[in-house]
Amino acid sequence: MKTPENVVLHVADVHKNFGGLHALADIDLQVEEGKTHAIIGPNGAGKSTLLNVVIGRLAPTSGAVVFDGQVLTGKKPHEINQLGVSRVFQTPEIFTDLSVLQNVMTPAFAKRDGAFKVNIFRPLDDEKAVREEAEATLEDVGLIDRRAVGAGSLSRGDKRRLELAMCLIQKPRLLLLDEPTAGMSRHDTNTTIELLKKIKSRGMTKVIIEHDMHVVFSLADKISVLAGGRIIAEGLPADVRGNPRVQEAYLGGAH
Ligand code: ADP
Ligand code: MG
């Protein structure tokens, strides 16, 4: 299997069956370093399945996932995460009993100490450095004023921003976002687009799954269109937008 040098993530000939259902077939996806690569498609197209295969939550039936020259297939989700792959989930996974600030500090400690080992002898000056980094990250995502409140009391849009901050503090090489603006108001959606553009300018590679065309066309460098578990079109946003197969499969599909 040959992966070009500027490709940071290569999903190579991946198939995923659930019983008799071909959720993914013949998937070949190449994500280039520093780019924002959008995956779009109607409900049930296989988008979340594809992301779950990349992060190790699902094993492909056949094929392989290569990240930064390393085969991820067979590795555990936390191992893949430690290699620099981070994902924002469709439903935010945050610690509702902790404060906003504590939530952002947790992954930074976990990264340093190994997956979710707690070190009660951690030196205080180290804690201070992590706190400062967490505050800077909260500033970035626009949540600094809410640092002391319980994460459970945040609005839905703010919970997603918090989850994004929890990913960003890990400084991943590859950030995967599954519908980052789902359920958000237009205002929150626009704020999130601005935030993602800011991250983009720092050169972080992103794969974004999104239904909202406004978000996709604002952010994507490249788009792959998934329908019925297959990539039916791929290219620059302008090309994909005008492709009749895409309009039929995606815009005509239920979403
Ligand atoms: P999307 O995210 O594009 O809406 P999914 O990846 O969630 O699509 O689902 C693709 C197809 O695979 C759907 O037909 C869905 O019902 C099926 N599917 C997803 N996860 C499972 C599972 N764990 N077991 C069986 N079928 C599944
Ligand atoms: Mg999905």
Q: Which of 136-140, 145-149, 161-165 has the highest mean pLDDT?
A: 145-149
Give the bridge partners for 49, in sequence order.
none
Q: Is the pLDDT of residue 52 over 50?
A: yes
Task: Identify residue 56 by its one-letter amino acid code.
Answer: G
Mutational test site, ligand 1, from 15, 21, 178, max ligand atoms within 8 Å of CB: 21
Q: What mean pLDDT is predicted for residues 51-64?
A: 97
Pairing of strands 174-178, 85-88: parallel
Q: CB within 5 A of ion ligand 2: which residues?
A: 48
Confirm if 79 and 56 have CB atoms less than 8 A apart: yes
Q: Whose CA is nearest to atom 6 of ligand 1?
A: 46
Copy the structure tokens of residue 244: 């009749």
Q: Coil, helix or strand for 104?
A: helix
How many Cα atoms sit within 13 Å of 43 on the Cβ side? 3
pLDDT of 81-102, one tens digit each? 889 998 876 566 789 999 999 9
For the purposes of burial, counting CB atoms within 10 Å of the CB of 201, is it exposed (0-12), middle (13-18) or buried (19 or more)?
A: exposed
Per-residue pLDDT band at 225 (split at 50, 70, 90): very high
Copy the structure tokens of residue 45: 């197209």
For the purposes of burial, counting CB atoms within 10 Å of the CB of 251, is it exposed (0-12), middle (13-18) or buried (19 or more)?
A: exposed
Structural domains for the chain: 1-84+175-255 (3.40.50.300), 96-171 (no CATH)
**Percent of the chain residues topping a pLDDT of 70:** 89
Ligand 2 centroid–CA 145 distance in Å is 32
The helix or strand, by DSSP H or E, that contains position 231, with its residue range, turns out to be strand 230-235
Mutational test site, ligand 1, from 17, 18, 178, 208, max ligand atoms within 8 Å of CB: 18
Torsion, CA 36, CA 66, CA 24, CA 164, rounded to 10: -40
Least confident span in 11-20, 71-80, 111-120, 169-178: 111-120
CA distance 102 to 106: 6
- The CA distances from residue 165 to 136, 160, 176, 255, in Å, are 10, 9, 13, 28
Give percent helix, percent strand, percent coil of the chain, each to the nearest 5: 40, 25, 35
Pairing of strands 205-209, 174-178: parallel
Q: Is 23 in the pocket of ligand 1 (CB under 6 A)?
A: yes
Q: Is 48 in the pocket of ligand 1 (CB under 6 A)?
A: yes
- pTM metric for this prediction: 0.86
Q: Using alpha carbons only, how large is the chain's radius of gyration in Å?
A: 18
Q: Residue 62: phi, psi to the nearest 5? A: -155, 165
Per-residue pLDDT band at 114 (split at 50, 70, 90): low
